[in-house]
Amino acid sequence: MDTSQFWTVIEAARSASAADKPFAEALVDELATRSKDDILRYQERFDEAGEAVYRWDVWAAAYLIGGGCSDDSFMDFRAGLIGMGREWYERAAACPDVLAGHPAVMAAAEAHRDEVVFDEAVNYAASYAFERVAGDGEDFYEAWNEYSASRASSDEASVDMGEDFDFDDPNEMRRRLPQLAALCLGSTP
């Protein structure tokens, strides 16, 4: 599964999701129509997409949107960001501050809700789909470990998260993410 096919899966699930069928559930349904190998390749692309936005500036956006953001919550935020689809993912990867213009983020800020974007269940979609296809959930982790070991690069570099900064400093957040800070923190004190 190449990158384009990965985003096709995401878009198909987005199209199938509805008020009574959350995106993560639609994603599991979409993945369960594919082979076990395709599900493993999907997981590989998913991990790559999540790692690509494992940066301080994206984490700061999650911190503003979520009213705080632990490392576990940041994993859920990145999954939710992927679930927003390729266009919003790429826009946010280029400049996380653009999330201030996403309709769901704006509506959540207005309603004082902080759960928008964070979608823990998306992290497990491949394993749930694999379980449906294979009939055993543990098979996914065994298959994934074997698959990922065969694909591991010998020169894995540490992740460059960019410049670290204080998420609890409202002035710094306003300087780095002005639109999101205005939306989530309000006007300058």
The residue type found at 44 is: E
Q: 100-109, 114-123, 156-165: which range is least confident on average?
A: 156-165
The reported pTM is: 0.92
Measured distance CA(183)–CA(151) in Å, rounded? 42
Residue 93 CB-half CA count within 13 A: 19
As a whole-number percent, the residues of the chain with pLDDT over 90 amount to: 81
The residue type found at 82 is: I
The residue type found at 104 is: A
User: Cβ–Cβ contacts within 10 Å for residue 151, how many?
Assistant: 10
Q: What is the mean pLDDT of the chain?
A: 92
Q: At residue 101, does pLDDT exceed 90?
A: yes
pLDDT of residue 151: 81
76 in Cβ contact with 123 (< 8 Å): yes
Measured distance CA(185)–CA(183) in Å, rounded? 6
